[in-house]
Amino acid sequence: MGGRPASARLERETEEMIGLVGSRPNAVDPKNKEWGEFFPISMSAFCYNETIAQDYYPITKEEALIKGWKWKDADSKEYQTQTYEVPERIEDVSDSIVNEALACSHCKKNFRITKSELSFYRRKSLPIPKKCPDCRHFERMNLRNPRQLWARNCAKCGIEIQTTYSPDRPEIVYCGDCYLKDIY
């Protein structure tokens, strides 16, 4: 118990609790310009690779640990084999599939089909997915253009534009004006 006033001590304890002290020395010092910034990553309850940050700015485990960020290792759990042979046609799928354990055809992780998913697939006449939700998410992410801009020329009026379509891609890319004129 030193000579610090009780209020200062309380403030210090709060800082320690939320992790501002220790991992980030002087983080509450206004001089380091962290006031007004978003919460620091050291306060995140999630590992870097559990968040959408890993989708947009992928890094390796080593890179994360060097920065002092948390990393979630792959689930080492033994997965069980699928308990239900899923028919190819959605019409042939039994209601009881919602009680079964399915196994991802790619990563072997177990997943389930919920009642509302089943009714959605039936309504849309879609087959039951063979891959787990994570693998499906990564497949969708890979369909997106990279977060990078290239300088190109509009395929119609020739004006210089910036686009996420790299110049070696086969798609025809218009500027905003030409695109809108063409569509509407």
For CA atoms 128, 132, 133, 139, the dihedral sign is negative
Q: How far is the CB of 168 from Zn ion (least distance, A)?
A: 20
Residue 178 binds Zn ion, judged by CB under 5 A:
yes
The single residue among 97, 154, 163, 173 that binds Zn ion, judged by CB under 5 A, is 154
Shortest spacing between CB 88 and Zn ion, in angstroms: 19
- Whole-number minimum distance, CB 34 to Zn ion, in Å? 39
Establish if 156 lies at the interface with Zn ion (CB under 5 A): yes
User: What does residue 163 show for φ and ψ, rounded to 5 degrees?
Assistant: -145, 155
Alpha carbons within 13 angstroms on the beta-carbon side of residue 163 total 19
Point out which span in 4-12, 52-60, 113-121, 170-178 binds Zn ion (CB under 5 A): 170-178
> Residue 18 and residue 6: Cα distance in Å, rounded?
19
Asked whether position 113 contacts Zn ion by CB under 5 A, the answer is no
DSSP 32: G
Task: Provide the 8-state DSSP code for 88.
Answer: S
> What 3-state class would DSSP assign to 125?
coil
Q: Which of the stretches 49-57, 63-71, 85-93, 96-104 binds Zn ion when contact is defined by CB under 5 A? A: 96-104
Residue 107 interacts with Zn ion (CB under 5 A)? yes
Rounded Cα gap, residues 34 and 91, in angstroms: 57
104 is a site residue for Zn ion (CB under 5 A): yes
Applying CB under 5 A, the residues found at the interface with Zn ion are: 104, 106-107, 109, 132, 135, 154, 156-157, 175, 178
